[in-house]
Amino acid sequence: MAITTLDGLIAGFQAPWSIYKVGSAMEAAGVPHSFFYSAGFPGAGSAPSPGIDGAAITSVTGQLFYDNPSGGNYGYLARFAACINASNPGVLLLCDRLWHNSGIAPATTTGQSITSAALPARDRNGSTNGEDVMFAIEVSTATTNGSAITNTTLSYVNSDNTGGTRTATIPSFPATAVAGTFVPFVLQAGDKGIRSISSITLGTSYAPSGSPAIHLIGYRILARIAMLGSNSGVEVDAISGGLTRLYDNTCPFLVYIPTATSAVNIHGSITYAHG
């Protein structure tokens, strides 16, 4: 059943889960940084390893805690609160990790084919169509490209299942990107999300030396909060956040968009409502 009243929301509150993530130096101001590999509570995740075709995710080590509602009830985001311990203002994203892969050859500059596993039914509408689903490159081992790369593309089918493939781009992937760097693709104009992907083309080597590791991540943003300064708490609740629906097996993780490279630790909590 759905929550349709404030009384129903209050009655459905669950006990909050704590969050504490220990950050590391980030790539650059304005470049998103994934806390998936960060130690803390919950603990760090490991680099994905399902191969180039990837895997849909229903649970994964490193995600924030989430418990499915029982008895046919629905899950919602009731409250997301956090503070940072350092003077590095930015925007903290709470995301659902839907899909990830491994096996991208970082030195290959021609297209690398992908037969992507179907997304889990956790897009904006609780379907596998991919509406509101974005993709990004996440770095688990630092890249060695000496300058920014502007010719990375992703071939995909959009959430409306438009005939043929579409092309998403990364306008600029940073040089020598540190582990945790998380760079989203820009979708083709008019598209509302990604249903499946068929290839990635790096165009320029991400690995002129060394052995970097990069991954494609399919995700949906659940909430955003602006972190204004150190030790200052900020939150979004069910009303200000639009009572975001959380589907069974949601795998929450954090991404930070910083204004500087300095490390931040994130303290917070997340509260769900069932009803």
Strands (E), 112-251: 112-113, 134-141, 152-158, 166-170, 182-184, 194-201, 213-227, 234-237, 245-246
Question: In angstroms, rounded to a whole number, what is the distance separating the alpha carbons of residues 81 and 83?
Answer: 7
Q: What angle do CA 99, 207, 110 make, to 5 degrees?
A: 70
Question: What is residue 245's predicted lDDT score, i.e. its pLDDT?
Answer: 97
* For residues 78-107, average pLDDT: 96
Least confident of 82-86, 133-137, 221-225, 270-274: 82-86
Cα–Cα distance list, 248 to 68, 69, 70, 146, 184 (Å): 5, 8, 10, 42, 25
Cα–Cα distance list, 205 to 31, 107, 228 (Å): 20, 4, 37
Question: In angstroms, rounded to a whole number, what is the distance separating the alpha carbons of residues 195 and 131?
Answer: 7
**Exposed e or buried b for every residue in 87-121, given b needs 16+ CB within 10 A?**
ebbbebbbbbbbbbbbebebbeeeeeebebbebbe
- Write out the H or E segment, with its range, that includes residue 82: strand 75-84
Q: Could you tell me the pTM of the whole model?
A: 0.96
* For residues 49-62, average pLDDT: 97
Q: Kindly tell me if the per-residue pLDDT of 79 is higher than 90.
A: yes
Task: Tell me the pLDDT of the chain averaged across its residues.
Answer: 96
Q: Kindly tell me if the per-residue pLDDT of 230 is higher than 90.
A: no
Are the C-beta atoms of residues 95 and 134 closer than 8 Å to each other?
A: no
Question: What is residue 11's predicted lDDT score, i.e. its pLDDT?
Answer: 95
Are the C-beta atoms of residues 275 and 73 closer than 8 Å to each other?
A: yes
Residue type, 98: L
Are the C-beta atoms of residues 206 and 216 closer than 8 Å to each other?
A: no
Band of the pLDDT at 86, cuts 50, 70, 90? confident
